[in-house]
Amino acid sequence: MSEPLVTLSDVSIRRAGRNSPILDNFSLTLAAGETVVLLGETRSGADALARALSGVPSASEAIAGSIRIGNRSSLAGDIAPYKAARIAYWPAPEHALAPNASALAQLVRVVARKLSFSQAEARAEFAASLERLRSRVTIQDLARPAALVSPDVLSWGLLACAVAQSPELLIADHPAGNVAPSVAGALVAACLEAQKRQHFALVCVTPRVDVTRRIDARTIILRSGRMIEEGSIAQLAGEHAHTYTRALFHTQLSPDAAPGRPVGRGEPVLQVFNLLTKGKKADRRDALTFALRRGASLALVGDEGSGRRALMRVLLGFERPAEGRIVFDSVDVGILSSTMLSRLRRRMAVIAGEDGALDPRLTVHDTVEEPLRARLHLTRELLNNYRDAALKRVGLAELDGSRLVAQLGPFDKRRLQVARAIVGAPLLVILDEPWRGLDALARNAMRQLLVDFRKAEGPAFLVVTNDFAVASALAEEALMFDDGKIVERGLLADLVKNPKEAATQRLVTAAKGGLS
Amino acid sequence: MTATVALTTTRPRWQTGVRVAGLAGLGVIALTVALSDMIARAPADRVNVRQVSLPPSAAFPFGTDIAGRDVLSETLHGLAVTSEQAVIAALTTLIVGALGGFLAARLRFRLGYGVRWTAGIFGAVTPLFLAILFIAVTNRGLAPLAAGVAAAPLAFARTFDRASGLASSRHAEFARATGIGALTLLRRDLVYEMRRSLLAIVGRGLASGTIILSTVSFFGFGALPPHRDLGLMIAGAFTTARASGNFSMWWTALFPALALALVILMARLAAGLEDGTRP
């Protein structure tokens, strides 16, 4: 039997100021060319393990135990063996690179340093690697400041950079980040193909069940620093798995879950007539027309650059349309003064899958109270009652109200957005990738929260997403966007069952891909 | 074959300690100023021709000057004059600079940036020159206001940049999209930013006000006897040294200068030694 490439024996990781270890007595053996997936949510210890394996632990982490890499790891508390073993690191696109420097220059510099190449040689190697991945991304797409490169494109660049280093071991640390299922699927497929070609060992750390299913290899479930169980996808997704594992796997949503008939047959709450957004050459044949009735839910589905986000920005008033009319609650918003428009918008709420959606300086209580204070003259007692009721409904009643938003985790922030929406009693809620960046269990809780909110309060939902599974969980009808125009529309159940357009087929396949 | 990496970091909380020390120092200075007439052994500008140019001794801890004035008493009176004027200057900087910057950031795009551009031009001029110019076109009684106005352009530019960043932030966009009005957003920004930055703004204003006021007095554009401030005391010591051709009466300059340095240091410490990246 060949010598294992990586051997971890009783590795524990402790963080300064915490009593319990973030990873407790973890052991692992990995042979050359083998794949292992570490599936764990936030605080599972998987992130810390990825950092330790990469030789770049956080400054506040103390690692104990034995880490052996190949036969070269005679370690004495330094990172020399990590340099000796050819380890490549494939991080999530968010915050992976310095935002203001060219993404291409940064990636080429990594390849040059790892392979001791000149810049020109490293650039050629990187370009060849990118080409071998057979993505649509070109080297020119990356020759911009990293902050201006989309996460999808950056993910391809990071993967190309990792495989260009001819690694023995590739550590994929949240490799797909928060990118769309279609892109995540393509990235995983390209990585596995490169693995076959280059025969490197792969350690993938991810909280995403869909990514785990796509890799379909030996998987270790981690929770609160401990290994829950280990097995193949077939075993873990089966009925005999640990309760936590089953909960994780059963939280993955299916696009087939879409209801077969629309809900909401009242007056239209939002009507869009012949709308053209700015940024693309105006073609009246591409003008958007649709309506959303009270209590109904409509999904705007499309890949990055398809135009759904441009439409959302126009609907939110961030940008003005090039042409067309928007009627909200029977009022043409185009003829309103800014004061009147602001008043009309009070019946609208936004729940966005981004951390910056809430003011980080506000306290929890102020965040929920603000819409009430801005719109109504309520007594302190009434204000407290409304606020506490909303926080209770989203499960944040126990949270210290004086805590700052900046101190909250992503799930709490997301629930706080829902509480803020609840007190506003909106007619329309715009949901922009509502559970992007959340763990599997948090996604499920968030879905239930939103479904209950809609059931109880009856607002119309406009769901902006690139994932048919998300759309199916929250909406009944959908508009499929591609290249700035609507290419298909109808009941979600029909679109998922019989997608006619190529773009729809691609996204439906991607949404189902993680489940097959 | 064993890797044991043990790294720990402790996050320094020096800034809180520095602020507390600065505030405590300013508190002591404020108390000294309030009680200066009681602590000082002689009223301001009292001349005693029988005890001129005495070096520090048990009878006169800070010595006496060429006119026989007790330097300790004069330093206490000068500290009171300088501090009171510096507070006015700091409040002027706060209102004209910081608050003005916040409000200007909410003006229509071109108008707001026009005002910011103008403030940038004034900010590029040395505040001392601005203060002297202001005094020259008004009168020296308005020296505290002049010092505050002279320091205002920099405070204005800082708060404008911060406030315009906040106004175009994602959370502000989302708030506007859901009908939160401009006034509510302005109130939110003012309350939260001022809560975090008020001490820093006032501390920096106090330090810059003290420096500007003392310097204009040193050059003869500020305080006049009998209300001598610390700058004027140092100027007097300098004139004496130049006339006599040596600096044998060092105590007449050293103690006012130390008092001046103490006020500036404490004000900067109270501001948390911030580099001005926040308003």
The per-residue pLDDT for range A34-66, each reduced to its tens digit, is: 999 999 887 888 888 888 887 777 777 888 888
Last residue of a domain, one of A203, A220, A250: A250
Residue A32 and residue A59 in contact, taking contact as beta carbons nearer than 8 Å = no
Chain B residues touching residue A432 (CB < 8 angstroms): none
DSSP A70: T
The three-class DSSP label of residue A401 is coil
The H or E element that residue B217 is part of is helix B182-218
Q: Is the minimum CB–CB distance between B196 and chain A shorter than 8 Å? A: yes
B188: nearest CA partner in chain A: A362
Question: Do A226 and A92 share a domain, yes or no?
Answer: yes
Contact B196 A318 (CB under 8 A): no
Chain A residues touching residue B174 (CB < 8 angstroms): 316, 350, 352, 357-358
Please check whether residue A26 lies inside any domain of the structure: no
**Into how many domains does chain A fold?**
2
Pick from A62, A64, A357: CB nearest B7: A62
Distances (CA, A) of A394 to A103, A450, A451: 40, 9, 12
Residue to test with chain A: of B174, B183, B195, B196, most A Cβ within 10 A: B174
Give the sheet arrangement for strand A169-173, strand by strand: A87-91, A169-173, A201-206, A35-40, A218-223, A226-231
* Residue A76, pLDDT score: 41
* Residue B211, pLDDT score: 94
Question: Do A361 and A495 share a domain, yes or no?
Answer: yes
Distances (CA, A) of B268 to A150, A468, B234: 43, 57, 22
Q: Mean pLDDT throughout A148-171?
A: 92
Of B164, B210, B183, residue with least CA distance to A374: B183
Mean pLDDT of chain B: 85
Collect all residues with Cβ–Cβ distance below 8 Å to A166 and sequence separation of at least 6.
Answer: A86, A115, A198
Mean pLDDT of chain A: 86
Residue to test with chain B: of A359, A363, A416, most B Cβ within 10 A: A359
Contact A75 B1 (CB under 8 A): yes
Q: Is the pLDDT of residue B229 over 60?
A: yes
CA distance A208 to A321: 37
A352: nearest CA partner in chain B: B174
> Which residue do the tokens 């506040």 mark?
A60
Chain A residues touching residue B179 (CB < 8 angstroms): 342-348, 371, 374-375
Query: For the purposes of burial, counting CB atoms within 10 Å of the CB of A304, is it exposed (0-12), middle (13-18) or buried (19 or more)?
Result: middle
- pLDDT bucket at A8, cuts 50 / 70 / 90: confident
| ipTM surpasses cut 0.90 | no
- List the single range of A219-233, B10-24, B205-219 with lowest mean pLDDT: B10-24
Q: Is the pLDDT of residue B1 over 80?
A: no
Q: Mean pLDDT throughout A80-88?
A: 70
Question: Do A483 and A508 share a domain, yes or no?
Answer: yes
Q: Is the pLDDT of residue A449 over 90?
A: yes
Contact A317 B9 (CB under 8 A): no
- pLDDT bucket at A189, cuts 50 / 70 / 90: very high
- List the single range of A257-261, B35-39, B190-194 with lowest mean pLDDT: A257-261
Rounded to the nearest angstrom, the minimum Cα separation between A122 and chain B is: 31
**B184 φ, ψ (degrees, to nearest 5):** -65, -40
pLDDT digit string, tens, across residues A315-336 = 887 788 888 899 998 888 888 8
The three-class DSSP label of residue B275 is coil
Where are the alpha helices (H) located in A458-500, listed in sequence order? 468-474, 492-497
Q: Is the pLDDT of residue A230 over 70?
A: yes
Contact A62 B5 (CB under 8 A): yes
* Residue B3, pLDDT score: 34
Question: Do A221 and A273 share a domain, yes or no?
Answer: no
Question: What proportion of chain B, given as a percentage, has pLDDT over 70?
Answer: 93
Last residue of a domain, one of A250, A285, A310: A250
* Residue A73, pLDDT score: 55
Pick from A74, A316, A375: CB nearest B1: A74
Question: Do A275 and A405 share a domain, yes or no?
Answer: yes
Q: Is the minimum CB–CB distance between B126 and chain A shorter than 8 Å? A: no
Q: Mean pLDDT throughout A403-426?
A: 92
Last residue of a domain, one of A217, A250, A283: A250
Question: Do A417 and A448 share a domain, yes or no?
Answer: yes
Q: Is the pLDDT of residue B183 over 90?
A: no
* Residue A260, pLDDT score: 62
We report the CATH number of the domain holding residue A316 as 3.40.50.300
Quote the tokens at residue A413: 């922030």
Q: Is the pLDDT of residue B279 over 50?
A: no
Residue A23 and residue A225 in contact, taking contact as beta carbons nearer than 8 Å = yes
Q: Is the pLDDT of residue B6 over 90?
A: no
Residue A349 and residue A426 in contact, taking contact as beta carbons nearer than 8 Å = yes
CA distance A224 to A245: 13
Q: Is the minimum CB–CB distance between B137 and chain A shorter than 8 Å? A: no
Q: Is the pLDDT of residue B8 over 50?
A: no
CA distance A300 to A466: 8
Residue A361, CA atoms < 13 Å, CB-side half-sphere: 16
CA distance A411 to A427: 24
Of A105, A90, A178, A179, residue with least CA distance to A146: A105
Contact A63 B181 (CB under 8 A): no
Contact A60 B9 (CB under 8 A): yes
* Residue B90, pLDDT score: 94
Q: What is the 3-state secondary structure (H, E, C) of A414-450?
A: HHHHHHHHHHCCCCEEEEECCCCCCCHHHHHHHHHHH
B184: nearest CA partner in chain A: A374
143-172 of B, contacting A, C-beta below 8 A = 169-172
- pLDDT bucket at A428, cuts 50 / 70 / 90: very high
Question: Do A431 and A402 share a domain, yes or no?
Answer: yes
CA distance A246 to A264: 34
Question: Do A95 and A242 share a domain, yes or no?
Answer: yes
Please check whether residue A312 lies inside any domain of the structure: yes
Chain B residues touching residue A16 (CB < 8 angstroms): 8-10
Residue A107 and residue A154 in contact, taking contact as beta carbons nearer than 8 Å = no
Question: Do A149 and A202 share a domain, yes or no?
Answer: yes
Q: Mean pLDDT throughout A471-487?
A: 88
Contact A345 B178 (CB under 8 A): yes
**Type of residue numbered A156:** W
> Which residue do the tokens 């001029």 mark?
B125
Rounded to the nearest angstrom, the minimum Cα separation between A69 and chain B is: 9
> Which residue do the tokens 């809780």 mark?
A445
- List the single range of A13-22, A377-386, A465-474, B262-271 with lowest mean pLDDT: A13-22
* Residue A516, pLDDT score: 42
* Residue A262, pLDDT score: 63
Cβ burial A328-349 (10 Å sphere, 16+ → b, else e): bbeeebeeeeeeebbebbbbbb
pLDDT digit string, tens, across residues A87-128 = 898 988 887 889 889 999 999 999 999 889 999 999 999 999
CA distance A250 to A291: 34
CA distance A263 to A132: 47
Question: Do A480 and A331 share a domain, yes or no?
Answer: yes
Please check whether residue A14 lies inside any domain of the structure: no
Please check whether residue A69 lies inside any domain of the structure: no
Contact A61 B169 (CB under 8 A): no
* Residue A95, pLDDT score: 78
Quote the tokens at residue A451: 């479904």
Strand partners, A231: A219
CA distance A64 to A69: 15
* Residue B199, pLDDT score: 86
Rounded to the nearest angstrom, the minimum Cα separation between A307 and chain B is: 19
**B275 φ, ψ (degrees, to nearest 5):** -90, 5
Q: Is the pLDDT of residue A266 over 80?
A: no
Question: Do A246 and A268 share a domain, yes or no?
Answer: no
Contact B179 A345 (CB under 8 A): yes
Longest dimension (CA), chain A: 77
The H or E element that residue A236 is part of is helix A233-236
A320: Cα separation from own chain's centroid = 28
A46: Cα separation from own chain's centroid = 17
CA distance A514 to A189: 12
Please check whether residue A92 lies inside any domain of the structure: yes
* Residue B37, pLDDT score: 85
Contact A350 B3 (CB under 8 A): no
> In terms of CATH architecture, what is B15-41+63-270?
Orthogonal Bundle (1.10)
Chain A residues touching residue B5 (CB < 8 angstroms): 52, 57, 61-63, 77-79
Contact B4 A63 (CB under 8 A): yes
Of residues A242 and B86, the one with the higher pLDDT is B86
Give the sheet arrangement for strand A6-15, strand by strand: A23-30, A6-15, A61-69
Neighbours of A402 (CB within 10 A): 9
Residue B267 and residue B200 in contact, taking contact as beta carbons nearer than 8 Å = no
Contact B178 A349 (CB under 8 A): yes
Question: Do A356 and A308 share a domain, yes or no?
Answer: yes
Where are the alpha helices (H) located in B70-181, listed in sequence order? 71-92, 100-104, 109-124, 127-137, 143-167, 170-177
Return the domain boundaries, chain B. Answer: 15-41+63-270
Q: Is the pLDDT of residue A477 over 80?
A: yes
Distances (CA, A) of A446 to A119, A335, A368, B278: 47, 37, 18, 36
Residue B44 and residue B226 in contact, taking contact as beta carbons nearer than 8 Å = yes
CA distance B198 to A486: 51
**Type of residue numbered B192:** Y
- pLDDT bucket at B217, cuts 50 / 70 / 90: very high
CA distance A475 to A491: 9
* Residue A165, pLDDT score: 92
Please check whether residue A10 lies inside any domain of the structure: no
Q: Is the pLDDT of residue B4 over 50?
A: no
Q: Mean pLDDT throughout B205-213?
A: 93
pLDDT digit string, tens, across residues B143-171 = 999 999 999 999 999 889 988 888 888 89
Chain B residues touching residue A317 (CB < 8 angstroms): 176-177
B194: nearest CA partner in chain A: A361
For residue A455, what are the domain limits? 263-513
- List the single range of A127-136, A398-407, B1-10 with lowest mean pLDDT: B1-10
* Residue A514, pLDDT score: 54
Rounded to the nearest angstrom, the minimum Cα separation between A246 and chain B is: 35
* Residue B181, pLDDT score: 86
Please check whether residue A56 lies inside any domain of the structure: no
Contact A342 B179 (CB under 8 A): yes
Q: Is the pLDDT of residue A200 over 60?
A: yes
Contact B179 A352 (CB under 8 A): no
* Residue A280, pLDDT score: 57
Please check whether residue A478 lies inside any domain of the structure: yes
